[in-house]
Every structure is written in C-alpha cells, then in structure tokens.
Structure 1
Amino acid sequence: IVESEVNGKQTITYDINPKAKWSTGRPLDYRDLVANWTSQNGKDTAYEASSTAGYDRIESVVRGTTDQQAIVTFSKKYGDWRGVFYPLLPRENVDTADHFNKAALTTFPATAGPFRIKNIAAGGKRIVVERNPDWWGENKSVLDTISYIPLDQSAAIGALQSGEIDQMELGSDADSFKVAKGIPNVDLRQSLGYQYRHFDFNGAAGRITADKAVRLALMKAIDRDFLANAQLGQITSKPAVLDSHLFVNGQKGYQANNGDITFNPDQAKKELEAAGWVMAGDFRKKDGKQLDLHDVIPSGASNASQEAQVMQQNLKAVGANLIIDTVPSDDFFNKYILVGAFDVTHFTWEGTPFTSSSDGIYRLTPGITLQNYGQIGSPQINALADTALTETDDAKRLADYNELDKQVWAEGHSLTLFQRPSTYATKKNLANFGAPAFGDQDMSKVGFLK
C-alpha cells in the first residue's frame, strides 16, 4: 500500500497479493474495492451502511496496471485512510443493496482467510468453519475446524462447565466470572480492550429526552463509579469509569473530556427543576406528564439487568422513574434500538484502532440513522468531525477528536460508563487464544497443547 499525492489529491495505491483468493476460488481484485466503496459511500441510501466515514470522501477507485492493483483517489484528504476497506468484503456480498443488506443473514457467499465456512445449521444455531486449502497467508491453520455456537451469557457459562465449548468471552459478568474461576482446567485470560458500556438517550421529537437540559441532568444522577465497581470489582483490581466517547484507557489520545458531568445528584435535581420538572409525590411532573423513562434491555444479559437496577435507584433519587423493559435478545436491536423504540438503553460498543469508525455514532444526518440510534447531535459536532477526518497529521487529528468529544459531552449525546477488560475463560490447553488487548487474534495460530 502506497500513499501519495497525484494532481494535488491524496491517492492510495493497493497492490493485492496475486495469490489472494476468495473461498469461491475467485482472485481478489480491484473490483472488490470498487464494490465496497460504492455500497458504503452514502450516495445510494438503499445500502444500509452503519457508517460512510472515509468512503464518502473517495472520488474514484480504478484499475491500476493489473486487476490486482487498485488506485483510490480522495476528493478530500482523509487522515484515517487505513480504516477504509477494513474489512474488505467480496463484491458478491455488496454489489446490490439487497445483497449488502441481507446476503449475510443466513449464509456468507464468500470469505477469505485461514478458514472457510463448512456449514451453517438451520437458524444459525451452529456455524462450522474448516481450514481453507487456498489460504495464501504465512501460516496454515493449526485447527481443522472451529464451531461457533451463539449462546446468551447464562447458557454459555453452563456450556463451558459441561465441556460443550472451549472458550467464552466473560465481558463484565461477575457471576459468570465466579463460576469460571471454579471450573477445573479453565484459565482466565485478561487484558485492556476496546469494549465499553454506555447509556444512550433517544432525542426524537416528543420524547422527554429530546430536551438536552434533561439529558445533562440525568447524566449527573448516575453513579458511574458505583457501576464500575459493581460490574468490574470482582473481575479487575482497577475498575474505572470511562470519560471519553472516542478513546479508551490505554489507547493513544485518551483524555477525560466529561467536564462537570460527574455524579452529582443535588445538581441533577436543580437542573431538572430549572427545566420545569417539579416533584409530585415520588417522581417529577411537567405539564401533567410524569418523568417516566422506558429503559429497553435484552433478556439473558445479567450485566444489563444489574446496571438497570442501579440506575433505577439513582434516577429515583432525583425524581425520575426508570421503567425497565426487558425484551427478547434476538429482538433487541432490530425491533427496538435500530428503529428508535426506546427512551434510554445501554449496551456495549466495540472500538477499533480507527477513531473515524465512531463517526456514524455522533454525526447527525437527517434521514440517515447510521449508528446514531438516538438521533442526537449538532452542526458543531458534524463540523468538528469533518475537521478531524481531514487532518492527516496524527497528533493534530487526536487533538481534533478530543475537541469533538468535548462537544459530544456538552450535547448530552450519551453517557460512557466504563471500559470492560477483555476477559476470556478458556480451556487451559487452548493455546494462542485469549485477550489480545489492542491487537488482532490470529486464528491460524490457535490450537490445543499436546
């Protein structure tokens, strides 16, 4: 990959390994990059892209001297250009809006890597991958097959106990952590990681949380230190709140940008009062409407339930009534979060090395949700995001993103709670697998000790 400037425009030349093939046997070529750009640049809204960051700044993707060379030209400079085509999807999956939106719902037409799909059980309840004989990488995979079984947290820990599975990610589930510690021949492997919990508001018109003053007040009513200790105290010796939306602890660029948004219930009461919400019995009312907030959480997620109960008490102390709505985990995103059917919610974001990957979470684009499910933002946030995306100097870009984060806090977009350590429970003899911190897991090297 070569970055250069051609006719005053940022240009990236990709030379694709001539040995690289998709699992269908077709070589990777420049047309795969064209299809990925076309499907994610935002020009055709029929493609339901979660983010258009970077792709919307590409002017063209054309063939170079061979089919295995792609020349990408940006219309505007893009500092995080390494984040585009990451991952690269086969064009068969994204060449039409229908394929882009639905091709991977029940199967995956083509893959690339040390493994390929062997079979997918009906309903997707078990996915088996096998060694890819056409893998062109340095290492042939150690394992012949890997089976993936989708289970909720409570079922997964039982499967680990019975030996049905060899590893599970524990997240911040203290109960599962305790059980895993007592399972013979199981290791607990932990590191810093990109995952973090957050509390989101719905800013749609007609919602109580459409009022920024209410959002900011409620944020001050939630005891994040207590939540971090309650969720992580038995998992890590250093539970801490997260005071950035764009970086996590241990990542270059991280700094606290929360300003005066700290646990301060007295201040929360004053601000709710100033916003017109006055106490009437146990809870506040305004214009005859009680301060009721429906908190939508998925079933089977004990950490979400525990968080909700703590926040319910926190908010009750300032006169807000948090109503916990537990919905089927399979419906949580599709039927509630993606369509804005919530007042508040909380779940886990998975960060990446590319800060621009968060662009769709905080950018407000009329008619396009991306990952900004609560539809909260401002022209200033959009402008700062544009500035950060354009900056090619790494240090300046990190500074730009921190300025952006300050505005995200000031807008009351969402409340970051705490960063979850990357914690895995694995069979003791499972090698080269666990908690990779900010690195990638090389599945070709994973195997069992003899």
Structure 2
Amino acid sequence: MSYDGVGPRAVMRSVAFLAAGALAVPLLAGCGSDDEGSKPLAGQDIGAAQRTDIGDGGTLRWAVDAMPQTLNTFQADADAGTTRIAQAVLPAMFRIDAAGRPQRDADYLDSARVVETEPKQVVVYRLNQQAVWSDGREIGAADFAAQWRALSGKDSAYWTARNAGYDRIEKVERGANDLEVRVTFARPYADWRSLFSPLYPKDVTGSANSFNDGARKKLKVSAGPFAVQKIDTKDKDVVLARNPRWWGHPAKLSGIVLHEVPRDKRAAALADGTVDVADVDPADADRVARAAGSQGSSPVTGSGGRTAAKALRSWALLHGSDEEAADRERGALAKGRGTLGAYLRQQDGLRRIKVRKSLEPAYTQLALNGAGGPLADERVRHAVAHALNRQEIADLVLKPLGLPAVPVGSHLALSGQDAYADSSDALGGQDAAQAQALLTDAGWVHGAVKDQKKGDKAAGAERDKGGDGPDAAAGDGTYIVGVDDDVEHNGDGKGRAASDEHGRQAGRESTEDRAGQHAGDGSGAQQLAQDGRQYAREHLTQGGAPGAYAPKGTAAPAGAVAGPLAKDGKPLTLRFVLPSGPGSDTLRKVADRITAMLKKVGITTEITKVSEDSYFRDHIASGQFDLALYSWPSSAYPATDARPVYAKPVPAADGSLNVQQNYTRVGTDQVDQLFDQAIATLDEDEERSLIRKADSRIWAAAGSIPLYQRPQLVAARADLANVGAFGFQTPVYEDMGFLRKGAKPATK
C-alpha cells in the first residue's frame, strides 16, 4: 500500500498492478509504435551498476506490506507481494520497459507475432530453446494450453479473478516443432501481448484443485532466476533461492527474503539491518536523508546532509521555532524509539541507507460517487471538478520531494506510454465562476436550511474534521456569471461572443458526443479541449433554473466568498471518506486542500476517517461515500485492464448493480463501445486513437478526477545495486546485488 493513496487489490491482471513497480528485463526486442509520444516524467533511480561491479552471493532482505495470501496471481486475493514473487520465479512472455510499454522477454521468447488476421487472428510464439522448468521439462505448448483452459472462463471449477483475453482464444496447439506455440483467436484481440505473463506450469493450471489450492502456499516448479524455497509464516518471510536450472545470466544474489514490516516500523528495520530495502513514507525518507551525511544535498530535505555527530541537532529541533520540524521529530520519538540515545543510535544506523525516488506507475484520483445524492447530477460533478486546482495539489505532494509536479492528464495512461495524451481540457480546469453557475443551474442556491441547527452542526463537523487546509475565506471573487443573448460575462469582466445557434446545438448534444466528436480525426486534443469547454459553458449552464444567472453585466463582488448552498432546504454537503492510520498523512493533506477549494464555491464536506482495512471493502466497493481518494495503476494494456474500471454499471440477475471495478458508478454506453472497438482492432495506431477518445469522454463524465502520479520513495543500502525506485520498468532480479569492495558507489 502506497503512503499517499490506498489502491484496490489486484483484480486487474496482476502484471498491470504496479504497486511494487513495473517489470522489464535487458536485451528486449521492441514492439511499440513509431509514435514516440511523451516521455516519463521521472526516470528510475536504482543505483544502477554493471554486473562486473557486483559481488557474488549475499541475501537481500526486502520489506513488504504483508505476507502474500496466494502465489497464484490469477486469484482474487493476489497482491503486490504475489506479483513480485511471480516476476522473480516465473516466465513472462512480455515485460514492461522504462516507458511503460510491453517488450518481448528474450530469455523466454525468440519471437512472437501475428501471422494471420483472416479468417482469424493467429499468433505464433517461438520459444527460447534453453527455456526449461526447474524440473528439467521444456516450456511448451502444453503449458500455454493448460493456462488458457484454466482462465478461459468456460470451467467454473477454476476460481479465477479474471479471464480477459483468454476468453477470446479458440485453441492453443503445438506449432511446426516443439519450440513453437500456435494460438488461434475466435475474436480479434489487440492486447494479445498481455497473455501468458506470467506463465504457470501445467502442474498448476492443469486441474482445478491444483489451480485453486496447490499454488497458494507453494510453487514446486518454476522457471526464473529464482525459485520459492519456503514460506515461513512464523517469521513472516518468503524465501527465494537461486534457481540452479536458470539459463540466463546467473543471479548475483544467493537469495531474496521478502519480509513483512509495517510502514511505521521500517525506519527502525532499516537502521538495525532487519531489511536492506523498503518503500517508505516521506517522513521516514526525510529521516534517512538527514541521517546519511554522505548524501549531501537532498531534494527530500533541502540542502545539507547530516553526520552522526550533527544528529543532536534533530533533538534541538523539538525546542526550535520550526513547528513542522518539531512535530516531525516529536512523532519519531513517540513511535517507540525511546530515549534520545536510542534515537541517535538509530539515526547513526540510517547513515548507510540512501533514499531513491521516482514516480510510481500509478496515479491518485478524486472519485465522485455518481450513484445517488448531489453527485448523481452531472452538473454538480462538473462543479466539483472546476473548483479544483490540480496543479496546486500536485505541487503539494510532489514539490517537497523534488519530483516533477505535473497533474495527470489521462485516466488510461501515464506520461511516457503510447496511449498517453492530456485530455483534461475535455472537462476543463479550475474555474470558480463556472462551478458556481453549474451549481446554481442544478438548483443549489444560497438559502435557508430547514433545520438550521442541524446545518450548523454539519458545518462545524466539516470545520473540525476538514484539517488545516488553506483559509477558505481567501476567495478570488469570481462567483457570479452574467449571460445575455450575445455575450457571456465571467467574473473577471471579460466576455466571449456566443452564437445562439451554437448554444442550442450544444443543448442537443450529450457530454460524451461533445468530448469525443473530434478525437482521432486530425484535430486531436486541441479540438477535444475546445469542445469540452464549449459544452460545459453552453450545455450545462443554458436553460437552467430561474435565478441561475445574475442580471446582464453584473460583476462579481471583489473578495466575495461563496457560502454554503442548499436545495429544498437541504445543505449541499458531501461525505468525504478517507483512510486513517500510518501512511495516510499525505492523503489527508490532499483532502484538506480539496475541502478548502470546494468550500470556496459553497460545497461543504464532512470528512470521515475509517480504518485502512475497511476503507475499500466497506466504503469504496460498497459505494458508501460521496468523495474519496484512491489510486489506480497504469497499464500497458488499457483496452483490457481499464475497461472494468470505467464500464457502465448494469443490473445483475439478482437485482443488484454490477459495477465491476467502477466504484464511482459513472459510465456511458459510448465509453464501453470505444473500449470494445479498441480491443478488437489489430491496428496499433487505431487502438491508441480509440483509447484517447475514450479517455476524453471519461473526463467529460466527471466520475473521477486524476490528480498526480504517485511518488515512489525507496530506502536502500547505499551499496545495493540495481534496486530502488524502478518507475515503470521491471526489476532485473538476476542483476541485483551488493557492490564489490572498492567499487564505485551506485549513483542515480
């Protein structure tokens, strides 16, 4: 679980769930498009070193959030630990590179390509002739066929979490020889590279019993640089050892131990050598950077390193004028770190640790529950979006860490990936005047609340629970919109000519049609942005309730601040649900800032903090929220992986609503159709265009607002090479290790 957001467990394909970092290996053959597109906002920071500079042997102890409940990545309770193990011990036909794109893994595949498209799509995999399972058997068609049958969805005896892609296969058979596997599809499948990664041996997938139970706690047969040696539930360890039958570059490490360590105990574990590498929160990253005087200037802490002798200054901070620094030091001492002497000894132990940082292949979003209440009205969701300053939120989270603070512009990809395009202008940016007009048009006006005492209590709860965000009284005064037949007046006094006919036309068009009309036709994102803004100005603010607009020419009063709004005597109050406990500090800061932004346009929030264990199960998945913050991973295969996240909810046979993973309950037929078209085309340019068009329509529906790409902070021993903040790219497990004596320390 990442510190700045709670993310759903892996129900999407496990390779796409990148909470622990995406995967890739060296010497990969590319398969991406010729469109270079954008670039990743931050590169990986792993202490890269040549294999010749790394010693042979040693055990790497790696902190994980929890012991995996299963070793089968295709089961519902698979998590990031499950995926990490699979990446080290099992074959993957395609891995992910530094730009978040799938690449052929040369250790397993000599080639893989579509050889026929008519009458049916046929893919031929040509396997590396050295690729064998740890029991000596060749990897072959029998393994591919068994995995297809297990995941096709045709046999309910297999307890699978997903079958996307496998349900489109008609047959899997041996090709021209033992090294060829021929896969024939009943329906075209654009994301065929997503299949058979990871690949399990037929011993696991060949029967329902072995699939359901046999691979939960052990993997007898593997085919990676490491193999699962044992799972120690008492010490909370998963022990991986070198695979003696591995045919690639020999693993430098003798073993890897995944050790369960709670987030709030990781600094202590790093200091005493219990673990060598761990994802950490900003506060612990700050401690590590200050303790390690050899690191010099650090973007995490500002200029100046810290030696052990100077560590006494941290104690002095408790009595200084910097309240934030004092709180940080006081909290460190309060977490069981004991006396000053113990604390300083721990700081001394952290001198050998280095903070490595990048951006995770995942983003944090504000989710708006459109199933009922005020947010069922698209105008209110748009108003919430227009109240937000996404740049300010990205700055809040990323700037103190020295990471690029760029708001995420897509629901379906991140900067650097082929499908990425900033489509946020299909909805529009911060515009307090527009937000106010939309709310008024939806019937939310300044007026009396039926139970004023109750309303005051709700407002008080918001003040008490909303945190210490910016003062809501600091308004910008742009809250009244004046409109006549020819000119639309904004709070800043500027006007735009508005065609009567164009306004009537906008009223006839749906949000999805306006946002997606021009995608992929050559006019691109610029036209999408123009359409999105024009639609919001015209369709969502024309023909509204009486009193929706101030008289012609009315200017916004300088310094005015919108008060709470009401409708039919009920206040506009949104329940903002957040996780509590260690690791959620940044989320709460973001929520406080969002609360202050919403208050400026008259939207009141009630922040409810719940335990992390129940956050998704009892609140997000069940729809018990109005606003929430959680994260989604990016995927190299958005047509497959993102569809259940944005699919239109449909009634189930029992009368309930089947939302799949669309926890906002906001979806449209048009978005579903675009995903269906994207998954069925074998033209990569067309698929990319369809994905971008779908994203623009998702923005226009305003069910979720992407905020920022999540920071990735990893504390690791300074002499540990090829381990750290991986960004998009897959770790190369066989190249991990400790630097030889005298070798130059790893640098970014």
- Is TM more than 0.5 here? yes
Distance 2:718 2:369 in 1: 44
Check the 8 A contact 2:124/2:182 in 1, yes or no. yes
Residue 218 of structure 1 corresponds to 384
Root mean square deviation of aligned Cα: 3.2
- State the shift of 1:123 in Å: 7.8
TM-score by length of 2: 0.54
1:329 aligns with: 612
Consecutive unaligned residues of structure 2, counting only runs of 5 or more, are 1-111, 292-350, 450-454, 460-563, 653-657, 741-748
Work out which of the residue numbers 578, 584, 587 in structure 2 matches 1:304: 587
Choose which of 356, 361, 376 in structure 1 pairs with 2:645: 361
CA contact (8 A) 2:575 2:608 kept: no
The answer as to whether partners of 1:299 and 1:326 remain within 8 angstroms in 2 is no
Cα offset, 1:47, TM superposition: 6.5
2:365 matched to 1:255?
no
Residues 295-329 of structure 1: per-residue CA shift (max 9 Å, x gap): 14253222222222222222333333433333333
Shift of the alpha carbon at 1:336? 3.8
Match of 1:186 in 2: 353
Higher mean displacement: 334-343 or 81-90: 334-343
Distance 1:123 1:226 in 2: 45
Deviation of the 1:65 alpha carbon = 5.3
Q: 1:33 to 1:296 in 2, by over 3 A?
A: farther
Counterpart for residue 278 of structure 2 = 168
C-alpha separation in 1, matches of 2:243 and 2:739: 22
CA 46–449 in structure 1, closer or farther in 2 if over 3 Å, else same: same
Q: Is the 8 A contact 1:180 1:425 kept in 2?
A: yes
- Aligned partners of 1:177 and 1:235 also within 8 Å: no
- 1:201, 1:374 within 8 Å by CA — same for their partners in 2? yes
Spell out, residue by residue over 1:238-260, the C-alpha distance to the aligned partner (whole angstroms, 9 max, x if none).
Answer: 31101111221233342210124
Residue 44 of structure 1: how far off its partner (Å): 6.5
Report how far residue 60 of structure 1 moved: 2.6
Partner of residue 409, structure 1: 699
Q: What secondary structure does 1:195 align onto? A: strand
Pairing 1:62–2:229 present: no
Native 8 Å contact 1:174 1:231 kept in 2:
no
Q: How does 1:11-410 map to 2 (within 5 A)?
A: 11-17=122-128, 19-22=130-133, 28-41=139-152, 52-64=163-175, 69-91=180-202, 111-122=222-233, 125-136=236-247, 138-170=248-280, 173-183=281-291, 184-204=351-371, 206-259=372-425, 260-279=427-446, 280=449, 282=459, 283-287=564-568, 289-290=570-571, 291-297=573-579, 299-301=581-583, 302-356=585-639, 357-364=641-648, 366=650, 367=652, 368-410=658-700
Higher relative strand content:
1
- Change in 2 beyond 3 A, CA 1:163/1:10: same
CA distance in 1, matches of 2:569, 2:592: 26
The CA deviation at 1:141 is 1.3
Distance in 1 of aligned mates of 2:614 and 2:716? 29
- 2:418 alignment partner, SS class: coil
User: Secondary structure at the residue paired with 2:266?
Assistant: helix
Distance 1:12 1:352, change over 3 A: same
* In 2: Cα distance, 1:212 partner to 1:101 partner: 43
The alpha-carbon distance between structure 1 residues 237 and 28, as it changes in their structure 2 partners (threshold 3 A), is closer
Q: Is the deviation greater in 337-346 or in 426-435?
A: 337-346
**CA deviations over 1:18-70 (Å, ceiling 9, x no partner):** 65455677654434433443454455678776655433432333344567643
- In structure 1, C-alpha distance between the alignment counterparts of 2:176 and 2:113, rounded to whole Å: 14
- Quote the Cα distance in structure 1 between the aligned partners of 2:620 and 2:160: 16
Q: 5+ residue gaps in structure 1?
A: none
Q: Which has the larger radius of gyration?
A: 2
Q: Distance in 1 between matches of 2:714 and 2:403?
A: 16
* 8 Å Cα contact 2:413/2:635 also seen in 1: no
Report the AA paired with residue 354 of structure 2.
D
Q: TM-score, normalised by structure 1?
A: 0.86
User: How far 1:371 sits from its partner (Å)?
Assistant: 2.9
Q: 1:4 to 1:427 in 2, by over 3 A?
A: same
Cα pair 2:113 2:123 within 8 Å, conserved: yes
**Residues paired across the two proteins, number:** 446
Aligned residues of 2:412 and 2:635 also touching (Cα < 8 A): no
Cα distance 1:315–1:77, how it changes in 2: closer, same or farther (>3 A)?
same
Summarize the Cα distance change of 1:219–1:44 in structure 2 as closer, same or farther, 3 Å threshold.
farther
1:268 and 1:225 map into 2 onto residues whose CA distance is 17
Distance 1:53 1:435, change over 3 A: same
**Greater alpha carbon shift after TM alignment, 377-386 vs 19-28:** 19-28
Query: 1:106·1:123 contact (CA, 8 Å) conserved in 2?
Result: no
Query: Residues of 2 paired with 1:394 and 1:308: CA distance?
Result: 39
- How far apart in 1 are the matches of 2:165 and 2:589? 38
Which sits farther off after the overlay, 432-441 or 102-111? 102-111
Change (3 A) 1:272 1:68: farther
Decide whether the 8 Å contact of 1:13 with 1:69 is kept in 2: yes
Amino acid at match of 1:387: Q
- Matched to 2:574, the amino acid is D
Amino acid at match of 1:176: D
- Of residues 51-60 and 425-434 in structure 1, the stretch that sits farther from structure 2 once superposed is 51-60
- The yes-or-no answer on 1:426 pairing with 2:716 is yes
Change beyond 3 A, Cα 1:66–1:405: same
Residue in 1 that maps onto 2:119: 8
Equivalent position amino acid for 1:385 in 2 = F
Secondary structure of the equivalent of 1:261?
A: coil
- In the TM superposition, residue 418 of structure 1 has moved relative to its aligned partner by 0.8
Please report how far the alpha carbon of residue 134 of structure 1 lies from its aligned counterpart in structure 2 after TM superposition.
2.9
